């Protein structure tokens, strides 16, 4: 696609929005009060708004390679704190996806330079679940399962934060783990057991 086409598309989109509601952009400019924080992969095929069917203003989005929540990543932690403590979202979603290149790369024994410390987080997920993963016969199934376990562990990383613990106590904020199946377009809810995870980690990670 030529870059000029992007601006032509934008013009067309503006006209579509205005023809449905002439105050559309005036209303958008007033502020945001999204219900969701979405943390997903940067993969170009997994666009948060499209797969959730939401409009501008409805979801606060953070995307990085393999949808990781790392406690020393100032970027994701800033997004999390802003969304939870200021925008007061009530749901946080970690959305992984099958065929995730980041997870695939973490399964390969090779030096990927600056990506090494980032992908280390996924290798750590593998180590935590080594027994289950090594018991899986085919590489494809192991890959799919690691994608799911990675989502689960990132949800746990969210629950370890003071912002999430406090917002859960104060207003019942919840964390959800999803996987987007690129083959079918379907969003799969991994049904993360928030209360049980919270209870099990509070012995060590209680901050609030
Ligand atoms: Co990905």
Catalytic residue, from 62, 95, 100, 155: name it. Answer: 100
- Could you report the per-residue pLDDT of 57-116, keeping only the tens digit for each? 999 999 999 999 999 999 999 999 999 999 999 999 999 999 999 999 999 999 999 999
- Is residue 155 part of the annotated active site? The answer reads no
The confidence score (pLDDT) of residue 91 equals 98
- Could you report the per-residue pLDDT of 145-191, keeping only the tens digit for each? 999 999 999 999 999 999 999 999 999 999 999 999 999 999 999 99
Q: What residues does each domain of the chain span?
A: 1-30, 35-205
What is the 172 CA–ligand 1 centroid distance (Å)? Answer: 29
What is the 45 CA–ligand 1 centroid distance (Å)? Answer: 9
Q: Which CATH superfamily is domain 35-205 in?
A: Carbonic anhydrase (3.40.1050.10)
- Is residue 95 part of the annotated active site? The answer reads no
What is the 67 CA–ligand 1 centroid distance (Å)? Answer: 7
Alpha carbon dihedral 152, 155, 159, 164, in 10-degree steps, equals -160
- Is residue 43 part of the annotated active site? The answer reads yes
Exposure string of 87-102, with b = 16+ CB inside 10 Å and e = fewer, is eebeebbbbbbbbbeb
CA distance 46 to 25: 26
CA distance 149 to 200: 17
Sheet of strand 174-181: strand arrangement: 59-64, 36-41, 91-97, 174-181, 186-189
Q: Cβ(103)–Cβ(123) under 8 Å? A: no
Q: Span 108-132, mean pLDDT?
A: 97
Catalytic residue, from 63, 73, 95, 97: name it. Answer: 97
The confidence score (pLDDT) of residue 89 equals 98
CA distance 101 to 34: 29
What is the 120 CA–ligand 1 centroid distance (Å)? Answer: 15
The confidence score (pLDDT) of residue 117 equals 97
What is the 8 CA–ligand 1 centroid distance (Å)? Answer: 29
Residue 208, pLDDT > 90, answer: no
């Amino acid at each position: 696609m030529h870059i000029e086409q992007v601006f032509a598309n934008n013009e067309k989109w503006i006209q579509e929005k205005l023809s449905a509601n002439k105050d559309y952009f005036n209303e958008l400019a007033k502020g945001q009060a999204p219900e969701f924080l979405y943390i997903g992969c940067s993969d170009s095929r997994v666009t948060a708004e499209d797969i959730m069917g939401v409009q501008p203003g409805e979801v606060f989005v953070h995307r990085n390679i393999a949808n990781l929540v790392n406690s020393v990543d100032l970027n994701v932690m800033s997004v999390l704190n802003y969304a939870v403590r200021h925008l007061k979202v009530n749901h946080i979603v970690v959305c992984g996806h099958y065929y995730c290149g980041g997870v695939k790369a973490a399964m390969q024994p090779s030096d990927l330079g600056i990506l090494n410390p980032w992908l280390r987080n996924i290798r750590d997920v593998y180590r935590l679940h080594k027994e289950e993963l090594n018991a899986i016969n085919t590489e494809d199934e192991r890959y799919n399962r690691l994608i799911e376990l990675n989502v689960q562990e990132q949800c746990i990383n969210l629950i370890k934060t003071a912002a999430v613990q406090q917002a859960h106590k104060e207003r019942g904020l919840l964390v959800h783990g999803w996987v987007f199946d690129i083959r079918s377009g379907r969003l799969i809810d991994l049904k993360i057991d928030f209360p049980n995870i919270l209870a099990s980690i509070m012995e060590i990670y209680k901050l609030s």
